[in-house]
Each structure stands twice: as C-alpha cells, then as structure tokens.
A and B are shown apart, each in its own frame.
Chain A
Amino acid sequence: MSSTASEASTYDLAVIGGGPGGLAAAATAAELGARVVLVDESPALGGQIWRQNRSRVVPAAQPWLARLEAAGVELRLGTTVWQATPPGNLHTSQGPIRARQTVLACGARELLLPFPGWTLPGVHGVGGLQALVHSGLEVRGRRVVLAGSGPLLLQVAASLTSHGAQVLRVAEQAPLSRLARFSLGLGPGKTWQAVTLANPRFRASSWPLEALGTERLEAVRLQRVGGSEILPCDLLAVGFGLTPNLELPRALGCRIEEGAVAVDEHQRSSVRGVFAVGEVCGIKGAPGALVDGLCAGASAGGTTIARPLLRKRDRQRRFGRLLTRTFSLREEIRQLARSETTLCRCEQVDYASVAAHPDWTSAKLASRCGMGLCQGRICGAATQALFGWGPHGVRPPLTPVPVGALFSHDIPPPPPASRESRS
C-alpha cells in the first residue's frame, strides 16, 4: 500500500455514534464495500442501551459487533467529535477525520425538568440510574421510586427489580386514557396493559411534586389522582422523556423539524451527504434505530432499500409518533419548580433568576445559566420545554474537550475530482 497519510484518513463513510442505529448503518455500508469509520466518544460500543463493560455482555449486540469486524469497519472509540462541516469533515479529540458521507447516529439524552429537591443526592435520571446499575451500582434491597414519563420508566423498573431493588412506585404523568390508546397501537402480543399489569406499582396520572430530605433523598411526594402521597425511599429515578442530541446536526446545518433531524425516505438529511438514524431523527426506541441504520447503510452504500425494510421503517416511524403523542407532557409538569428551585445545576442558578428574562440569550448572559460543564444540554432543554425558548446557537467545541484537542485541525480542502500524478 502506498497511500499517503491524508488519503489514509479519507473514508467513504463516517458514522458518528455506536448505538443500535450507528452499528447497523456501519455494518450495512461496509458489507456493501464502503470504507467505513465508526466514531464514538464512549470507550465501548453499544450506545445507551447496548453499552458493554467488563461485567456486562449484551447478547443483542453480539451479531452487530461480529458483522462490524467481518466487514472491516474501523473503530475510533473514546473519540469525541467536537465540530463538523459537511459532508464529512470531522474535528475530533483524536485528530481530523475526513469522509465523503456521514451518518449521524448520536442518539438522544434524557429530558430533566426542575422540581423542588431534584438536585438532592439520591435523585437520578431514569436512564442515568440504569447506566449506573449496568456499571456496577448495587441496588439490592434499596427502595426505589420511578417517576416522570415514557416507556423507559417501566423498562428500568423491571431491570432494577431484577437486580434486587424494591420498586415502590412507577409514576407516569400520562393519563390512563392515552396509555390505553397507546397499547392498541402496539399490536398484538405486546400490549401496554400486559406490561403495566405486570407491575402492580404502576400509576397513571401521577408525577413527582417534591423530593424530600436534608442531606440526601429521604422521601418523595407524588401527585396522584385525587391527592398526593409521600413515599420514603432511597433512590428516585426521574425522566420526562428523551430529547435528540442536536448539536452535531445543527453544526452541520441539518434542517430540524419538531425537535429532531428531518430525513427523507433514504434517511438523508437536508444536507447533501449527511444521513441521520435512530433517536437523533425522532424518539423511536432501539428496534426503530436498527431499522433506520439498515436503511441509511444501504443508501450510503449505494443500493436501494428493500421494500419490506421500508415498510418496517415506516411502521417504526408511526410507532415513534405514537410515543410522542402518548407521553406528551401535561401543563402541571411545567409548573413544578418554585422560585428558589435550581434550574441550572452546573452554575447553581435558580428558577426565578432565569424566568425573569425574555429569552435564552439574555438569561444566559445575565445569570450564567447554561454556561457550565453540560454546556446548557440540561437547562437548555428544560427552558425550551418550560418557556418555549428557541434552541440556541451551537459553537465548537460541541462537547468539552482538552484544550490540546483543539490543536492542528486545519483540514485540507477536498481532493480534486481528477488527480494528476506528480512526483
């Protein structure tokens, strides 16, 4: 091989994100002959749901990992993309990567909304607690309450139970009427009632009002039909749904619709050469992310998407829309915080100091809300949900990286279409 260094780092396809969506896209495109690199900031593949570690092997992920390896997908793990320009100029914490096409598979994060006491030790995000358990947190015998909205509550409740936790309550803010309609949409064999009936601790139209405790969590006060209840507990897992990670798509200039990357039937975004799959283009769960990835892999690999796969993908999209409708947040959830409730955790800014401003930019400038370590990922999403403040501009670094990682990213322009040989 006599390729130069810069040619060596030019790929047919760069996939950002190693969750179900990214794995499927990378494997499919590579099997079609594309030279593929898969980048993930985590040191392990699998994304939010399949991430493995020493004590955890995820059977569902195995076939995908095997296919990646067989197809020769290059892995860049522990590598953060902190800026990108179309179609595939990636600035990463480990140096530049250049590709002719990009698949965005960067997933979603939890929507956390402020309520009194939510910053007490012992209060976690639902997904965050799940991840902690996966990486070894011992929950055996601990009393846990899960509260908020979305299917993740029940999934995580089941997982915690299997790890020996004592789940006292699963409080879902959505009303039973909507949940019933949701279960009809799920199709046979997978009804919501089946799931909820299996969990006698489940309550619809119930949500967290206040986490109680002085040094750490001692109890939670929940709204429920006709009143409220106080449950003493050791852990409280809250989550109000997921929200797509839009920093990279927005840096690339992808059109966003209803809070997710807009894609066509080939999973193409509005930017030429940039595809999006999985939760970044709409919350749909891991099976939907896989199907998206298969479609994008085929498109990026230069073939047409098989009809049955298209039909499957359309079903998954309908399911995603049903999810959004079913678990849309009720107005009361936006009224939980008090004036003194922390809204921006990183910079310790309270609700009143933020709510006093007409928009995100002035709130941020004056109160420092959103200026901390999470770069406004949490409070920015919260103020969008609470006050309807538009998404703010994105700037590199999209994720905090070491200062030294910002060096030497003067990416050369794309090579000319026809190359003359020079000596």
Chain B
Amino acid sequence: MSRILVVGGGIVGTAIAADQAERGHDVVLICDSPIGGGATAAGMGHLIALDGEAAKVELTNYSLDLWRTVELPDDCDLVVCGALWVAADDREMQTAAAMRDRYLSRGIGAELIPAAQLAELEPELRPGLAGGLRVPTDAVLYPPNAARYYWHRAVKSRARHLTARVLTVESHRVQLRDDSSERWLEADWVVVAAGDRTSALLPELSIRPKKGHVVITTRDAPFVRHQVVELGYVGTTKSRAPVSVACNVQPRRRGQVLIGSSRQEDTHDPRVEPAVLDRMLRRAASYFPGLTRLTALRAWTGFRAVSEDGAPIIGSLRPGLAVATGHEGLGITQAPGTARLLGQLLAEEPPDLSAAPFDPHRFGSEAA
C-alpha cells in the first residue's frame, strides 16, 4: 500500500482518488474548493463522443465505455439525450457526412439528418438549416455530483479529504496551508489534478486558462431534446481569436436549458462579461430564435485547462510526482479514462491505451 496525495477535487482529481483508493492505496485528497468545484462546477456536462485527433478520440471512447459501466446516483441527472450537430449550409453538411463516416468506422452510431427531419427532431431550430448529424449515445449529466459520486467511492475505500491550499509540490511531498498554518505532507506519489491552476504548482508545464460563459434558464415547457451543437463548434475549440462563440444548447433533466458556449484566451478574470454574453446568446438565438423568450436565471464562467498542443497531460513527471490535466472542454467526458490510465501507469501495468500522446515530457525542449 502506498500513500497517494491528490491535489484537486474536480472531476479529474476525484476520479483519480477513487481509482487509487480502490487499488488499496492510502489516499488523501487536498483541495481549496468544495468537491466538484473548479471548472467541474462550471462545465456543461456533455459526455461527448469526440471527432478529432486519434489519440484524444481514443481517450474519449475509452472513457465513455467506463461511464457506461458506472451506476450514477439520481442526483447526477444523467440523461442519454443524444447530440445533434447542426449544419447551417451544404458545406457543413459535407462535414457532417465525413464525421458520420469516422464515427461509424469507430463503432459509434451516427446518422445524417436531412433538413426536412430537423424540424421534427428539434422544432425550435430556425427553418432553412441544411441538416445535421445525430449521435444518439451522447449524454448529459450534472458534473459536481458526478465528482461527488467518485469521491463517495474513494471514501468507501478509506480516502480522506483535506481542505487546504497547496503552496508547493515536489517529488514525494507537498507543502500546504490550512487555518493559517503551513506544513509538509509526505507521500509515495503526489498527483496534481489542479486544472487551470496547474502551472502555478508546476511551472515547467504550460497550462493556459480558456474562459467560458454559460447561461441557464428557468424551468419551462420542453425546449430542446438533444444537446444541440452547431458544426462550427469544433473550429472554435481550437480558435486563437480573443473571443469565439458557438451555439451549444443543452436540455437539463429538470427542465432548464443550458446555453453555451464561449472561449476566451489570456484572461484570469472570473467575472461574467455582458459583452460576451451578448455575442454568445445572439449566436445561440441565430439557431434557436425562441430562446429570447425563455428566462435567463443565472450566468457563470469557468476556465478550461489547455496544454500547448491542446491534448491532456497524464502521467509521471518524475518519480513521486505525477500530473493529470489539460482536458480543455472535455474533462468531464475524459475523467474516468484519465484516472484509469494514470492508475495503470503508476502501477507500471500495461496501459489499456497508448499513453505517449499524453506524456508530460512530450513538450521536451520547447518547454525547457
């Protein structure tokens, strides 16, 4: 049995804590926000079958398989609503067709939806769209309680929790501050899952925050059925423009509608910005004109953690110090696979998927 210190109580840190505790290790989780806080509290909770670079797709699909094996409690609000990627014009429809082929080749169900059928599936979409692609297995959940679910599993295997700020991490130990006293804790492994704040603890890793806004409505008559995303969304996830927005609208199990999404670089300011809300909501309303009559209840922001190449960073940095972060807009989806992969790496078991694309050392000379 080893002593493991996990820094971070978001979905990634809690999933790692559960995996490590269930392997029989003595786990202490340290975070300075409630369990399920951080970006996890801000995320939309779309469990998304990704279309993109092979390595990320592999991690995503591996994770989705794991999500399907867990039995989430009711308060996680899991709904398998499917995703609908909407094509505005014929060019986007061609993109949709290519996406379908890639999904099918990986064994993920996906069907092209002709324009005429869109209105049937999502009556609130504006007329004149070219069609879409439906991925019926995509789901949504409430991320903070999914993190709490993992945390309850960890606790069942005797994990413990410290509310404290970590000041320094080193191989085999961390320095933390709680109730204004500072001290060091020793361990066999320190695992940093500190999300967008990782670089403050590990300056050798470049993790940039990417700010996002979300708006939630009051409960009303059903408005959307699927997680509806415009096909232009994938472009915005890689955009380097100061602000990019995409229509991303989600039905919550309790009847609210979640409206996203925005991406902003180079800011750590957590405040909600009316000018960004304006752009984001206009974009969403350009697909769903009826959105304007729903009632906006709350808005919030969160920070996605982005690595230099946009892929997660998972693995050992040096003996006694490991890291798991950099999931950008996919951390909820990819958390179970991340935890499992890291567990296999630390235990020196053969990993279920290739770990090289996530290797913390891959930035090598660039980072130095």
Contacts and interface: CB of A to CB of B under 8 A. Distances in A.
B148 A366 contact: yes
Nearest to B275: A410
A351 to B, nearest CB: 17
Interface in A382-417: 395-397, 400-411
Interface centre among B34, B41, B300 (most CB of A within 10 A): B34
A8 interface: no
Nearest to B36: A365
Identify whether the interface residues of B are mostly helix, strand, loop, or mixed: mixed
B259 A403 contact: yes
Interface stretch (B231-239, B291-299, B315-323, B343-351): B291-299
Interface centre among A361, A365, A395 (most CB of B within 10 A): A365
Given A395-B298, A396-B274, A403 B281 contact: yes
A349 to B, nearest CB: 11
Interface residues on B, range: 20 to 34
B295 A402 contact: yes
Given A396-B272, A409-B278, A410-B278, A403 B296 contact: yes
Interface in B22-48: 33-37, 41
Contacts of A357: 34
Contacts of B292: 402-404, 407
Interface residues of A, number: 28
B217 interface: yes
A262 to B, nearest CB: 23
B277 interface: yes
Given A396-B299, A402-B292, A366 B145 contact: yes
B274 A406 contact: yes
Contact of B35 (A362, A396, A404, A405): A362
B34 A406 contact: no
A-B CB proximity, top 5 nearest: A404-B292, A362-B34, A365-B144, A409-B274, A410-B275
29 contacts: A83-B272, A361-B37, A362-B37, A365-B36, A365-B144, A366-B36, A366-B144, A371-B298, A395-B272, A396-B272, A396-B274, A396-B277, A397-B297, A397-B298, A397-B299, A400-B296, A402-B292, A402-B293, A402-B295, A402-B296, A403-B281, A403-B285, A403-B293, A403-B294, A404-B291, A404-B292, A406-B277, A406-B296, A407-B285
Interface of A: 83, 91, 357-359, 361-362, 365-366, 371-373, 375, 395-397, 400-411
Given A400-B218, A407-B278, A410-B275, 10 more contacts: A83-B272, A362-B34, A362-B37, A365-B34, A366-B34, A366-B75, A403-B281, A403-B285, A406-B296, A407-B281
Interface of B: 33-37, 41, 75, 144-145, 148, 163, 215, 217-218, 259, 271-272, 274-275, 277-278, 281-282, 285, 291-300
